[in-house]
């Protein structure tokens, strides 16, 4: 996929950027770096055969989860995907229990019963990552239904990849959400590839036109610019919270790594030059860091300090997970029924 | 218990279900019901007629024809604080909602390490002989019974239907109820006005007997009772046991009955192959083999798509004459 036109990293603050505020601008940077460092360690744990199962890395897409979750309240709901570590962390999950879950340990968020693709956490409103592509669209819409019914003021965000555009359930939920004016935001993370297939080979027509057909508010933005994500999310989430209905937000992004960690030989479905172009020209962390410095929000030393602090935290979290015990085999029959 | 209840009236199977839903909705404001034409239309079977007048369209919710869509919505609503009853109209549409029921609702509690609950009810129908042909007549209750995380209810009497439905609404797990659609009007019985539940996982001996046990589900309970009545004439005293729920399964009551009678027929309107009856037969064989004087034998729907023509369709479902013939064979009293 052609990257969106590169924004000038040193571009001046727009009025929308100014409205974000210094603390949030830095917090979003911190969150993006945290996810990047987390995922780099996942890659390392997986390639060292310490992590069972599959690992789908979010590296390259960090601005979307961070920009959107920055707008959400702690009790707002999200549903996530197989590529979900970033969403969970951005919503407030702690890395130590995340790593523990990824390694199948008792201390993990799901006591080792869910793993990488099923992390769920009621404390942060995380209804769960879902390994069925598009499978959580109903859950997010239903949570929004309950929020409206119970008048809690909560909203729900349904994260999904562009691969879910091929699933019928998504369109049923778009219809229900718009019909009943439910406070749910459908966030399409379009990283260009359905597994190992370019989305143009699987997707007819125009993506936002799908939402438009339901009469749903929609927007397509540069998913590599965390400030743009935050600003668009603010508008759509506030609107939903006011009872003005759902929205569809397409974020154009890129998956730096393969579909999963084992997907190494990728040249047959996408050229290395394309990958390099996104990594060097469109990296959300680099772009935001340069913008923060160019606009005097933070200097290099401050950004380096954030990174150093997070490296220490992530390494400790990995240690915690590695040293945590596996669940006793007797736990296998617990939790089938409430 | 029915024996000790006061204010008992005769209700149809369908009215008993409506009463259960109304009582639970009065008791708990988080209970809602959604489905196709459930409000003013009162469902295609007219089982819910009048509920919308009491509870309004915010709680008796007409949906688009989107079974997967509103089933998934029900899962999320259940996780976020409601107790949805999702009305799927025909059990055949189980095929359409399978992902939301099996991969989502059934697994969320386990996958989340017990943190998220999915307290919801899926209402489906089952049963042939309504001349509705192959896509509106199946009895597919074996499918969800196969899945850990789901509970499956197959009531056979108005009393059980009301009590089991109320228990299902109060359960913190996804519960799938299969209502036999021929029974809605045809089956009538005593139902207390009182608030009572029938716990999930407790079988009921519908008729006591000493010569042979007939374990029967849903519509087959009435057929088994009719057969047992005929068997009296040939000197066979049949016991009819209704498991009432496929899961949890009250094995003790079934096994105790078979140990007493030493013979066992399993009757179910689902397909026999790889179905509910096979599971029940295996349970009996595993736990009562040395008490048996005859092979455990199944009596199920024929293994064919349900045909339309009455002359064909009526042959696919076991009847009381089949019960008599099989019981006589097993008891060697022909």
The CATH number of the domain holding residue A74 is: 3.40.50.970
Strand ranges inside A99-216, DSSP E: 126-129, 156-161, 184-190, 193-194, 197-198
| Distance (Å, whole) CA A6 – CA A8 | 6
CA distance A110 to chain B (A): 4
pLDDT in tens, B283-328: 999 999 999 999 999 999 999 999 999 999 999 999 999 999 999 9
How much is the pLDDT for A322? Answer: 98
Residues from chain A contacting residue B76 (CB–CB below 8 Å): 79, 127, 138-146, 156
Active site residue B146: no
CATH at B325:
3.40.50.920
Catalytic residue among B136, B180, B229, B303: B136
- pLDDT over 90, % of chain B: 97
- Domain contains A95: yes
B108 touching A, CB under 8 A?
Answer: yes
User: Whole domain around residue A57: which residue ranges?
Assistant: 15-324
User: Whole domain around residue B281: which residue ranges?
Assistant: 204-330
How much is the pLDDT for B67? Answer: 98
- Domain contains A210: yes
Strand ranges inside A56-171, DSSP E: 77-80, 126-129, 156-161
How much is the pLDDT for B279? Answer: 98
Of the candidates A120, A175, A338, the beta carbon closest to that of B66 is on A175
- Domain contains A275: yes
- Domain contains A104: yes
Q: Domain total for chain B?
A: 2
- Looking at B131, B162, B192, which one is the last position of a domain? B192
How much is the pLDDT for A7? Answer: 53
How much is the pLDDT for A17? Answer: 86
- Domain contains B182: yes
First-to-final CA distance of chain A: 45
Cα B93-B150-B169 angle, rounded to 5 deg: 85
Main-chain phi, psi angles of A129, to 5 degrees: -80, 155
Residues of chain B with pLDDT under 50: none
- Domain contains B315: yes
Strand ranges inside chain B, DSSP E: 8-12, 31-35, 60-62, 83-87, 121-126, 151-153, 175-180, 188-192, 204-207, 212-216, 238-242, 245-247, 264-271, 297-301
Region label for A216, one of left (φ > 0), alpha (ψ between -120 and 50) or beta (otherwise): beta
- C-beta atoms of A113 and B119 within 8 A: no
- pLDDT by residue for chain A (338 residues), tens only, comes to 555 555 555 567 788 888 899 999 999 999 999 999 999 999 999 999 999 999 999 999 999 999 999 999 999 999 999 999 999 999 999 999 999 999 999 999 999 999 999 999 999 999 999 999 999 999 999 999 999 999 999 999 999 999 999 999 999 999 999 999 999 999 999 999 999 999 999 999 999 999 999 999 999 999 999 999 999 999 999 999 999 999 999 999 999 999 999 999 999 999 999 999 999 999 999 999 999 999 999 999 999 999 999 999 999 999 999 999 999 999 999 999 99
The single-letter DSSP state of residue A325 is P
How much is the pLDDT for B1? Answer: 66
* Count of CB pairs separated by less than 8 Å, A with B: 155
How much is the pLDDT for A5? Answer: 52
How much is the pLDDT for A19? Answer: 87
pTM comes to 0.96
A294 touching B, CB under 8 A?
Answer: no
Q: Which residues pair with A59 in a beta bridge?
A: none
| Distance (Å, whole) CA A175 – CA A181 | 10
Q: Domain total for chain A?
A: 1
Whether the CA torsion A266, A38, A138, A170 is positive or negative: it is: negative
- Domain contains A35: yes
| Distance (Å, whole) CA B298 – CA B216 | 10
Burial of B4 (0-12, 13-18, 19+ CB in 10 A): exposed
A144 touching B, CB under 8 A?
Answer: yes
Of the candidates A120, A141, A150, the beta carbon closest to that of B115 is on A120
| Distance (Å, whole) CA B229 – CA B319 | 13
**Is 0.85 exceeded by the ipTM?**
yes
Region label for B95, one of left (φ > 0), alpha (ψ between -120 and 50) or beta (otherwise): alpha
How much is the pLDDT for A4? Answer: 54
pLDDT in tens, B23-45: 999 999 999 999 999 999 999 99
């Amino acid at each position: 996929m052609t990257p969106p036109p590169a924004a000038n990293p040193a571009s001046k603050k727009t009025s929308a950027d100014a409205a974000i505020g210094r603390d949030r601008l830095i917090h979003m940077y911190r969150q993006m770096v945290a996810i990047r460092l987390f995922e780099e360690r996942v890659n390392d744990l997986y390639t060292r055969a310490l992590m069972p199962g599959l690992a789908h890395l979010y590296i390259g897409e960090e601005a979307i989860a961070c920009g959107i979750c920055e707008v959400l309240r702690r009790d707002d709901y999200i549903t996530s995907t197989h590529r979900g570590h970033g969403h969970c962390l951005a919503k407030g999950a702690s890395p130590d229990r995340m790593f523990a879950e990824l390694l199948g340990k008792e201390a993990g968020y799901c006591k080792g019963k869910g793993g990488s693709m099923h992390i769920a956490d009621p404390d942060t409103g995380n209804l769960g990552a879902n390994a069925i592509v598009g499978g959580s669209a109903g859950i997010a819409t239903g949570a929004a239904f309950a929020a409206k019914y119970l008048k809690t003021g909560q909203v729900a965000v349904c994260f999904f990849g562009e691969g879910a555009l091929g699933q019928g359930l998504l369109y049923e939920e778009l219809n229900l959400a718009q019909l009943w004016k439910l406070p749910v935001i459908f966030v399409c993370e379009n990283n260009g590839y359905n597994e190992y297939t370019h989305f143009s080979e699987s997707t007819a027509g125009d993506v936002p036109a799908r939402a438009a057909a339901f009469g749903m508010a929609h927007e397509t933005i540069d998913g590599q610019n965390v400030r743009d994500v935050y600003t668009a999310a603010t508008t759509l989430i506030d609107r939903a919270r006011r009872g003005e209905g759902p929205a569809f937000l397409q974020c154009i992004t890129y998956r730096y790594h393969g579909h999963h960690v084992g997907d190494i030989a990728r040249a047959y479905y996408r050229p290395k030059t394309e990958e390099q172009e996104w990594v060097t020209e469109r990296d959300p962390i680099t772009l935001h860091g340069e913008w923060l410095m160019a606009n005097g929000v933070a200097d290099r030393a401050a950004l380096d300090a954030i990174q150093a602090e997070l490296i220490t935290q992530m390494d400790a979290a990995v240690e915690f997970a590695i040293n945590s015990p596996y669940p006793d085999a007797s736990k296998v029959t617990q939790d089938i029924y409430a | 218990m029915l024996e000790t209840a006061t204010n008992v009236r005769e209700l149809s199977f369908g009215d008993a279900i409506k009463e259960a839903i109304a009582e639970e909705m009065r008791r708990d404001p988080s209970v809602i019901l959604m489905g196709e034409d459930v409000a003013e239309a009162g469902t295609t079977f007219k089982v819910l007629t009048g509920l919308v007048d009491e509870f309004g369209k915010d709680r008796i919710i007409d949906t688009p024809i989107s079974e997967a869509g509103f089933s998934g919505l029900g899962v999320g609503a259940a996780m976020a604080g409601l107790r949805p009853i999702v009305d799927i109209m025909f059990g055949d549409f189980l095929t359409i909602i399978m992902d939301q029921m099996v991969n989502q609702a059934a697994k969320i509690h386990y996958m989340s390490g017990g943190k998220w609950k999915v307290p919801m009810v899926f209402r489906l129908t089952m049963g042939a002989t309504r001349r509705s042909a192959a896509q509106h007549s199946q009895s597919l209750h074996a499918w969800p019974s196969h899945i850990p995380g789901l509970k499956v209810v197959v009531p056979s009497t108005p009393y059980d239907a009301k009590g089991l439905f109320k228990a299902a609404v109060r359960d913190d797990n996804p519960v799938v109820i299969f209502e036999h659609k021929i029974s809605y009007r045809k089956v009538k019985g005593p139902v207390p006005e009182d608030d009572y539940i029938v716990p999930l996982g407790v079988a009921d001996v519908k008729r006591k007997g000493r010569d042979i046990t007939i374990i029967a589900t849903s519509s087959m309970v009435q057929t088994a009772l009719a057969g047992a009545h005929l068997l009296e004439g040939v000197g066979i005293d049949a016991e009819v046991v209704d498991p009432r729920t496929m899961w949890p399964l009250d094995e003790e009551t079934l096994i105790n009955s078979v140990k007493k009678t030493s013979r066992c027929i399993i009757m179910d309107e689902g397909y026999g192959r790889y179905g509910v009856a096979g599971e029940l037969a295996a349970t009996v064989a595993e736990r009562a083999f040395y008490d048996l004087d005859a092979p455990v034998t199944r009596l199920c729907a024929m293994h064919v798509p349900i045909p339309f023509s009455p002359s064909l369709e009526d042959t696919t479902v076991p009847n009381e004459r089949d019960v008599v013939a099989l019981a006589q064979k097993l008891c060697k009293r022909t």
